[in-house]
């Protein structure tokens, strides 16, 4: 069967570092060399730190940092329910079951000079490894980060240090400008001074829809990383679809990264 | 030294080298972590339900975890039977000797035409009829109406030489009535059962969790109901039963054999543990050895004898 080597693997990892950030977030370093070696920015892992009889499904998390040399990767997670609650009670040395790397990562254009990263909240996590790779290749990064408030601009220091320019917006004005996430991006595009080979976004469907609108006005290429409820994470259950111009596509298999213009958002 | 046990079983004329296979729709030969050797060690491979034409499936979200299980409304998407024959069947043939094709149809005519199209393929061992997919209006209709169910199975038996497995819907008052009807109409084997209709609602957004609003519940929560249904049905029908619903380990599968099932299918447990089917095969073997049985056949329906 084709591309056998690229299939995700089921492996047991070890939790090497774990810290809670404020009440609702956690950052966890997981040792799993087989996965860390193959992980690419934009891909994700399915993980469980529970027995199947307690919680049936694994949960998807993006790679936040990838360290192939040390055989480790990091996830940044938000506590929202049972699974992430259990995760937040993890101790160093605990075993964690993983399936990954799953999905297709971000593509950087071959000849890119400058890219834009637009992320909201926990979506910043997904874009950080992309920023790392782009920075390694000498690509100039403009980051546009947004959150409800300053403390939710997670990973902003890491991203800022990799970026040529970082623009902040918060809903309450506690950092950067108050208001719409895409304000700065739109201003730059309007002035026609900077030119992005690609715009990457993640973290909110509403945000992605805004960028789609800008795309129609300013014609740039864009990728979006999307989330959907998952069963298997490997393409088997057809549970994680989103609507695209090619019909329904699986977030875990054809995605989670999609060309933005192909995605058809709809409000439920 | 008695360290060999025989896991093989005949379900009528369907021979299985062991009694463990995936449940339809929870396993895809194109997207599995199992290698060729592992695929070949399964009792059979069963496909997602195949339709005569391409089907889109339901809008998302299509899955939601519930206490002790999950609810899905995937809606049987697929490329249709012609694509299946050309692109998927060859992969299946390479992977396992026993291939069961699950079928879904809009009408009796549609079902029969589909069965005819699959009849020429020698490598297909049996057809499983998805009577009970609660996500499609028509699926529900076949599985919960005795007359239509009987008529469908009867017509299918006339359309194909293949072994017919009727996968019953549990969403009925008395599943043994449906089982008897299917048997009388000529079904060779029964699968008990498909998912239970259910619903989940998001209290924050005040909307259903699933795009299709309602869906089918699977997973550990339904297992005791399925075990009871196997136990009841096996007392009434003569044809063999395949048990499915909530198996996550060998212990769970053993309950179904003891209740009267001759084989089992494993569904959503594959999602969390892609190797669960292999572990269950191993676990059954260990159990039989420990209890000093030489064959799986020794325990099928044993509960009926042990209880008076
Ligand atoms: C490809 C992908 C990558 C992801 N990466 C990350 C990541 O890096 N960090 C992170 O914190 N989260 C990430 N998520 C989301 C994460 O998987 C969910 O938050 C997690 O599964 C919740 O599990 P739980 O058991 O705690 O919550 P559950 O009990 O399953 O759900 C609790 C509540 O959270 C909501 N919820 C759960 N999952 C989602 C979701 N996927 N989208 C929208 N709402 C949801 C539900 O509506 C529910 O009300 C990602 C999701 C996908 C699909
Ligand atoms: C995501 C998903 C898709 C399914 N698709 C089908 C299908 O196409 N045809 C079918 O007959 N049953 C389908 N089923 C039902 C399963 O085959 C099985 O009957 C059910 O999940 C109960 O078993 P389990 O508890 O082991 O999962 C599906 C179940 C799930 C969870
Ligand atoms: S989660 Fe199963 S197909 Fe994507």
pLDDT tens sequence across B233-243: 999 999 999 99
Q: What percent of chain B has pLDDT over 90?
A: 90
Contacts of B35 in chain A (CB under 8 A): 4
Quick one: pLDDT at residue B139?
46
CATH number of A114-225: 3.40.50.80
| Contact check, Cβ <8 Å, B272/A58 | yes
Is residue B210 situated within a structural domain? Answer: no
CATH number of residue B192's parent domain: 3.20.20.70
Please tell me if the CB atom of residue A237 comes closer than 6 angstroms to any atom of ligand 2.
yes
Q: What is the 3 state secondary structure string of A35-95? A: HHCCCCCCCEEEEECCCCCCCCCCEEEECCEEECCCCEEEEEEECCCHHHHHHHCCCCCCE
Is residue B254 situated within a structural domain? Answer: yes
Q: Which residues pair with A165 in a beta bridge?
A: A142
Is residue B3 situated within a structural domain? Answer: no
Please tell me if the CB atom of residue B246 comes closer than 6 angstroms to any atom of ligand 2.
yes
Q: Is B163 in a helix, a strand, or coil?
A: strand
How is residue A180 annotated by DSSP? -
Q: List chain A pLDDT tens, one digit each, 268 residues.
A: 344 567 999 999 999 999 998 879 999 999 999 999 999 999 999 999 999 999 999 999 999 999 999 999 999 999 999 999 999 999 999 999 999 999 999 999 988 899 999 999 888 889 999 999 999 999 999 999 999 988 888 888 899 999 999 999 999 988 888 888 888 899 888 887 788 999 999 978 889 999 999 999 999 999 999 999 999 999 999 999 999 999 999 999 999 999 999 999 874 4
CB atoms near residue A244 (< 10 Å): 17
Q: How confident is the model at residue B140 (pLDDT cuts 50, 70, 90)?
A: low
How is residue B298 annotated by DSSP? G
Of B258, B246, B300, B263, residue with least CA distance to B188: B263
Mean pLDDT of B269-286: 98
Is residue B122 situated within a structural domain? Answer: yes
Best to test chain B binding among A2, A235, A236 (most B CBs inside 10 Å): A236
Number of the ligand 3 atom closest to the C-alpha atom of A250 = 4
Q: How confident is the model at residue B308 (pLDDT cuts 50, 70, 90)?
A: low
Quick one: pLDDT at residue B268?
98
Is residue B126 situated within a structural domain? Answer: yes
> Which residues approach ligand 1 with their CB closer than 6 A?
A 44, 59-62, 75-78, 80-84, 122, 125-126, 227-230, 251, 256; B 65
Q: Which residues of A touch B (CB under 8 A)?
A: 1, 4, 7-10, 48, 52-53, 55-58, 99, 228-243, 247-248, 253, 268
Decide if B133 is catalytic. yes
Question: Which residue range forms the structural domain that includes residue B120?
Answer: 9-58+77-201+218-303
Instruction: Say which ligand is closest to the CA of B217.
Output: 2
Please tell me if the CB atom of residue B248 comes closer than 6 angstroms to any atom of ligand 2.
no
End-to-end CA distance of chain B: 35
How is residue B87 annotated by DSSP? I
Contacts of B269 in chain A (CB under 8 A): 52, 56
pLDDT tens sequence across B142-167: 888 898 899 999 999 999 999 999 99
CB atoms near residue B4 (< 10 Å): 10
| Contact check, Cβ <8 Å, A238/B60 | no
User: How many Å apart are CA B208 and CA B159, to the nearest integer?
Assistant: 40
Domain with CATH 3.40.50.80 in chain A: 114-225
Is residue B68 situated within a structural domain? Answer: no
pLDDT tens sequence across B26-83: 999 999 999 999 999 999 999 999 999 999 999 999 999 999 999 999 999 999 999 9
Q: What is the pTM of this model?
A: 0.95
Higher pLDDT, B231 or B132: B231
CATH topology of domain A9-102: Elongation Factor Tu (Ef-tu); domain 3 (2.40.30)
Q: How far is CA B111 from CA A173, B107, B153, in A?
A: 61, 6, 10
Q: What is the predicted ipTM?
A: 0.93
Quick one: pLDDT at residue A155?
84
Instruction: Say which ligand is closest to the CA of A256.
Output: 1
CA of B173 to the centre of ligand 1 (A): 37
Is residue B70 situated within a structural domain? Answer: no
End-to-end CA distance of chain A: 39
CA of A225 to the centre of ligand 1 (A): 14
Is residue B252 situated within a structural domain? Answer: yes
Number of domains in chain B: 1
Q: Which residue has the tokens 């690509």?
A: A139
Quick one: pLDDT at residue A1?
39
Mean pLDDT of B76-101: 96
| Contact check, Cβ <8 Å, B25/A237 | yes
């Amino acid at each position: 069967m084709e591309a056998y080597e690229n299939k995700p693997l089921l492996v047991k990892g070890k939790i090497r570092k774990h810290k809670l950030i404020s009440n609702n977030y956690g950052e966890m370093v997981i040792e799993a060399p087989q996965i860390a070696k193959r992980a690419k920015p934009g891909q994700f892992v399915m993980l469980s730190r529970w027995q199947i009889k307690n919680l049936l499904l694994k949960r998807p998390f993006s790679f936040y940092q990838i360290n192939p040399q040390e055989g480790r990767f990091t996830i940044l997670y938000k506590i929202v329910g049972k699974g992430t609650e259990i995760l937040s009670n993890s101790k160093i040395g605990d075993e964690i079951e993983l399936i990954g790397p799953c999905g297709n990562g971000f593509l950087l254009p071959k000849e890119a000079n400058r890219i834009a990263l637009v992320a909201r909240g926990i979506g910043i996590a997904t874009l950080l490894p992309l920023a790392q790779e782009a920075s390694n290749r000498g690509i100039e990064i403009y980051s546009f980060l947004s959150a409800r408030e300053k403390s939710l601009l997670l990973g902003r220091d890491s991203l800022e240090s990799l970026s040529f320019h970082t623009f902040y917006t918060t809903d309450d004005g506690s950092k950067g400008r108050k208001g719409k996430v895409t304000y700065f991006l739109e201003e730059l595009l309007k002035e026609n001074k900077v030119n992005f080979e690609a715009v990457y976004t993640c973290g909110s469907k509403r945000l992605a829809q805004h960028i789609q609108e800008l795309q129609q006005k300013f014609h740039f290429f864009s990728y979006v990383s999307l989330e959907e409820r998952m069963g298997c994470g490997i393409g088997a259950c057809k549970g994680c679809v989103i609507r695209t111009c090619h019909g329904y596509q699986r977030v875990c298999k054809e995605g989670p990264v999609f060309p933005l213009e192909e995605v058809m958002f709809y409000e439920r | 030294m008695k360290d060999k046990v025989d896991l093989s079983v005949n379900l009528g004329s369907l021979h299985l080298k062991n009694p463990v296979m995936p449940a339809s729709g929870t396993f895809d030969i194109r997207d599995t972590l199992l290698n060729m050797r592992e695929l070949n060690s399964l009792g059979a491979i069963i496909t997602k339900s195949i339709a005569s034409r391409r089907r889109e499936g339901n809008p998302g979200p299509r899955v939601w975890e519930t206490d002790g299980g999950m609810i899905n409304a995937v809606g049987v998407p697929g490329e249709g039977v012609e694509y299946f024959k050309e692109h998927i069947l060859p992969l299946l043939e390479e992977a396992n000797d026993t291939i069961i094709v699950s079928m879904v149809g809009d009408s009796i005519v549609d079902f029969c035409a589909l069965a005819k199209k699959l009849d020429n393929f020698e490598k297909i061992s049996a057809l499983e009829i998805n009577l009970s997919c609660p996500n499609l209006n028509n699926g529900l209709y076949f599985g919960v109406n005795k007359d239509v169910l009987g008529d469908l199975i009867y017509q299918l038996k006339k359309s194909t030489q293949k072994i017919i497995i009727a996968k019953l819907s549990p969403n009925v008052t008395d599943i043994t009535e449906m089982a008897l009807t299917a048997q009388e109409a000529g079904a060779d084997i029964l699968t008990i059962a498909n998912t239970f209709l259910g619903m989940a609602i998001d209290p924050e957004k005040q909307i259903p969790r699933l795009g299709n609003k309602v869906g089918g519940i699977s997973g550990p929560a339904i297992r005791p109901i399925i075990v009871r249904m196997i136990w009841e049905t096996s007392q009434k029908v003569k044809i063999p039963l395949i048990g499915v619903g909530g198996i996550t380990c060998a212990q769970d599968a053993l309950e179904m054999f003891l209740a009267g099932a001759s084989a089992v299918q494993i569904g959503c447990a594959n999602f969390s543990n892609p190797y669960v089917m292999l572990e269950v095969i191993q676990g059954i073997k260990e159990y039989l050895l420990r209890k000093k049985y030489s064959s799986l056949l020794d325990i099928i329906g044993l509960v009926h004898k042990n209880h008076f």
